[in-house]
Amino acid sequence: MTRTLSAPVTVAFDYTRSTGPVIGRFLTGLRDGQVVGGRTSEGAVVVPPPEFDPVTHEPITDFVEVAPVGTVTSWTWVPEPVKGQPFDRPFAFVLVRLDGADAPLLHALDVSSPDEVSTGMRVQVRWREERVGSITDIECFEVATESGPTGVEAIGDNPVTGVIVPVSLDYLYAASPEESAFYRGLNEGRILGQRCPTCEKVYVPPRSACPTDGTPTSEEVEVSQTGTITTFCIVNVPFLGQKITPPYVSAYVLLDGADIAVLHLILGVPAAEVRMGMRVEAVWKPREEWTYSLENIDHFEPTGEPDADYDTYKHHL
Amino acid sequence: MAKQPAAVVGVGQTHHRAKREDVSMAGLCREAIDRALADANMTFDDIDAVVVGKAPDLFEGVMMPELFLAESLGAAGKPLLRVHTAGSVGGSTAIVASSLVQAGVHKRVLTVAYEKQSESNAMWALSVPLPFNMPVHAGAGGYFAPHVRSYIRRSEAPTHVGAIVAAKDRQNALKNPYAHLKNPDTTVESVLASQMLWDPIRYDETCPSSDGACALVIVSEDVAAASPNPAWIHGTVMRSEATTAAERDQVNPQASRDAAAALWKQAGITNPLEEIDAAEIYVPFSWFEPMWLESLGFAELGGGWKLSESGATAMDGKIPVNCSGGVLSSNPIGASGMLRFGEAALQVRGAAGEHQVDGVRRALGHAYGGGSQFFAMWVVGAEKPSN
């Protein structure tokens, strides 16, 4: 069987951004129902304002309110919107030069077909009711009306100084063929390494490319479920995303028959009594809980044997 | 063809803090850049190319700083490069910038490295659980603590040496107006009394989480003639190796030893302890001072802790290390390596202010990153290199 194992993994975090005085001014304006541009050293009004002048490189400090109405300078149709876009129905992205500005702003235009968009058409801001200091405080642009956009009241007194930008990435994590053999072994209660054909070191897990000589490991070697703690740390610190409640011992365990240690959890002994050289063995989870993971081994615990002599593992530190 | 001489003529950095909520990323970079340009007596118009470095993407959620920062860094219409080598990136970025000058491609290169740790969570970013694996990782401290334990065992160091280093660097930081941590009460005893976070590493033996940036202006020989105090680049080196390999030396990695040997050879140095007058070494956890002293050849194997314990690395010692307060006092990760390189340049220029060591002729700037797998180092000197 050569098929590799894979599993989904999501990496998500709510990053924050300090806006600084320029972008902060722009976002404060949006929250309060104003579109604010910045005047450059050459006199052009740019929306959103650039943080630094393109010619003099000095900070932009001259802010100008522009009209919430403008002219489309270019556009593209979005027939199949994807997650995170302004609408879940077809819409247009437009470049709008607002009246009073010299450079266009990118935003969405709410129309139902590409036949309703044209360069040169007049459009206006549609304000969102709940405005927080974000580019999405402009819900979208819409076709300009005789009466113009509906005005809104200012919301807050404090300037906007920061925004939250959630990022979420969905990956399919694929194990290599060599690693897949290792994880399948764990599903059978075995710890499988492979010997590198060049340097003859036994890697656990096996590698697609031995880090020393680049050769894929090949010859399968079942290693012992007993080994030696080479070194370790006691984790006393809690942190975001942590899976194990501290304090816990995270240790490098050099399994008998392997030439590289695996990182695992030590239990069955007070943390303060864990030692370099301590002999430990794998303690498996109940069989019905096994998957294709190193987590099938719940932890390692002391065997009660005498500690290994330092000389037997010192070259693994 | 030999390298052409290059020198640092401008150094700038931000006031490093836990949170710099008053500035955007671009504003943070500009604070350092504007100081570096002023120091070099130059404007953006004088600059030929810009090289930017930052921490790994997940740390800040910024994948392409070169794209979104180009205009703010004054790079429009100029070459703009981005460098990426984990925690050593500030050092590697400075080396890439210097190589553009040494190769004769450009005469005046601006380089900047930054990080806003407050906008993310590095501990989280370093510990994202992967499918099939055991979720025992615990950030950088969790990664390095076992190797610190290995060093203590291998060298038979007394366990208070880490506290000596931490107390020294925190006291040095009081002399650096840009440093993040300002803890006048830190002593060896207070460090030893602080919480054990990742045993054997205590809270006060770890670096803070900082927002900050550093920028350098690196120029060719003819441009440097206009500077009253150029820091000449005597040698630069980068090396990398695999994070894990059978029997890999995690305490004293091969790449570190090879890099040091190559660096000293380039700089014409045979005995670094005698010939280097000040060193800025990347020490995010205090025990890395003795570890790197050995790896770099300032001490024999097993002797690094003796140098640290003896006071030789204090400001008035034989080999002052991290007079700026070092990474232990300010750690905007993406910028930390460049801060080491920049502080070394300040020492040979006689421009380090209150933390200046008298009569520095040659200084080391050092950075490492990843799982001790990326190394970047340079030697700068007050004299133009002869080689």
Question: A228-282: per-residue pLDDT in tens?
Answer: 999 999 998 877 777 778 889 999 999 999 999 999 999 999 999 999 999 999 9
User: ipTM for the complex?
Assistant: 0.92
Is position B327 within any domain? no
Average pLDDT of span A134-144: 97
Is B237 inside a domain boundary? no
Domain contains B58:
yes
Interface of A with B in 264-293 (CB under 8 A): 264-265, 271, 276, 292-293
Say yes or no: A195 and A119 in one domain: no
Sign of CA dihedral B355, B356, B360, B364: positive
Q: Quickly tell me which residue has 């054997």 as its tokens.
A: B200
Does A216 share its domain with A127?
no
* Chain A residues near residue B204 by CB distance under 8 angstroms: none
Structure tokens at B36: 């570096």
Q: Which two tokens stand for residue B39?
A: 């120091």
Tell me: pLDDT of B238 over 70: yes
Here the tokens at position A205 are 């897990």
Residue B304 parent element (H or E): helix B304-310
Binning pLDDT at 50, 70 and 90, where does residue B320 land?
very high
Strand order in the sheet with A63-66: A45-46, A35-39, A63-66
Q: Domain with B66 in it: what CATH number? A: 3.40.47.10
* Domain co-membership, A25 together with A109: yes
Write out the residue range of the structural domain in which residue A163 sits.
16-167
Residues A152 and A189 in one domain: no
A278-293: pLDDT as tens digits: 999 999 999 999 999 9
User: Token pair of A123, please?
Assistant: 């459009």
Tell me if B337 is assigned to some domain.
no
CA distance A113 to chain B (A): 33
Is B27 an interface residue toward A (CB < 8 Å)? yes
Do residues A71 and A96 lie in contact, with contact meaning Cβ atoms separated by under 8 Å?
yes
3-state secondary structure chain A: CCCCCEEEEEEEEEEEEECHHHHHHHHHHHHCCCEEEEECCCCCEECCCCCECCCCCCECCCEEEECCEEEEEEEEEECCCCCCCCCCCCEEEEEEEECCCCCCEEEEECCCCHHHCCCCCEEEEEECCCCCCCHHHEEEEEECCCCCCCCCCCCCCCCCCEEEEEEEEEEEEECCHHHHHHHHHHHCCCCEEEECCCCCCEECCCCCCCCCCCCCCCEEEECCCEEEEEEEEEECCCCCCCCCCCCEEEEEEEECCCCCCEEEEECCCCHHHCCCCCEEEEEECCHHHCCCCHHHEEEEEECCCCCCCHHHCHHHC
Q: What angle do CA A285, A287, A293 make, to 5 degrees?
A: 65
Closest CA to B233 of B357, B384, B53: B384
DSSP state letter for B142: H
The pLDDT of residue B125 is 84
Phi, psi for A209 (deg, rounded to 5)? -145, 120
Distances (CA, A) of B137 to A38, A157, A242, A302, B143: 47, 44, 9, 21, 7
Whether the predicted pLDDT of B1 surpasses 70 = no
Closest CA to B283 of B247, B343, B329, B314: B329
Residue B194 lies in a domain: no
Q: Please give the mean pLDDT across all residues of chain A.
A: 94
Same domain, A97 and A134: yes
Number of separate domains in chain B: 1
Give the tens place of pLDDT for each residue, A16-42: 999 999 999 999 999 999 999 999 999
Condensed to tens digits (0 to 9), the pLDDT of residues B351-386 reads 999 999 999 999 999 999 999 999 999 999 999 998
Using a CB–CB cutoff of 8 Å, tell me whether B200 touches chain A.
Answer: yes
- Looking at the structure, tell me whether residues A37 and A126 fall in a common domain: yes
Contact A9 B22 (CB under 8 A): no
Q: Is residue A5 part of a domain?
A: no
Binding-face residues of A in 97-136 toward B, CB within 8 A: none
Whether residue B9 has pLDDT greater than 60: yes
What do you get for the CA distance between the two ends of chain B, in Å?
12
* Residue A77 in domain: yes
Rounded CA gap, B341 and B94, in Å?
Answer: 8
pLDDT in tens, B39-62: 999 999 999 999 999 999 998 899
Q: Helices then strands (H, E): number in chain B?
A: 15, 11
> Which residue on chain B is closest to A292 by alpha carbon?
B132
Residue A1 confidence (pLDDT) above 60: no
Average pLDDT of span A145-149: 92
Q: Is the pLDDT of residue A2 over 60?
A: no
pLDDT band at B126 (very low <50, low <70, confident <90, very high): confident
> B119 or B127: which carries more pLDDT confidence?
B119
Residue A303 belongs to a domain? yes
Residue A238 near residue B127, CB atoms below 8 Å? no
Range of the structural domain that residue B73 is part of: 6-121+208-224
Measured between CB atoms, does B77 come within 8 Å of chain A? no
> Taking all residues of chain B, what is their mean pLDDT, rounded to a whole number?
96
Using CA atoms, how far residue B278 sits from A120, A206, B313, B346, in Å, is 65, 44, 9, 11
Domain co-membership, A245 together with A116: no
- CB of B76 within 8 Å of any CB in chain A? yes
Determine whether the interchain pair A263/B136 forms a contact, defined as Cβ–Cβ distance below 8 Å: yes
**Looking at the 3D structure of chain A, how many domains does it have?**
3
Q: Quick one: closest CA in A to B247, which residue?
A: A316
Query: Across the interface, which of A19, A252, A295 has its CB nearest the CB of B146?
Result: A252
- B20/A18 touch (CB, cutoff 8 Å), yes or no: yes
Which residues 155-214 of A have a C-beta within 8 angstroms of B? 161-162, 165, 167, 173, 175, 179, 183, 196, 199, 201-203, 210-212
What pLDDT, on the 0 to 100 scale, is given for residue B387? Answer: 59
**Same domain membership, residue A151 and residue A34:** yes
A82 shares a domain with A163: yes
pLDDT of A135 strictly over 70: yes
Whether the CB of B116 is below 8 Å from some CB of chain A: the reply is yes
* Cβ-Cβ contacts under 8 Å, B247 against chain A: 201, 259-260, 315-316
- pLDDT tens digits, B277-289: 999 999 999 999 9
Same domain, A250 and A291: yes
For residue B69, tell me if it sits in a domain. yes
Q: Is A151 inside a domain boundary? A: yes
Q: Is residue B135 part of a domain?
A: no
Q: Which of residues 276-335 of B touch A (CB under 8 A)?
A: none
My answer on whether A230 and A189 are in the same domain is no
Residue A6 falls inside a structural domain: no
Residues A196 and A128 in one domain: no
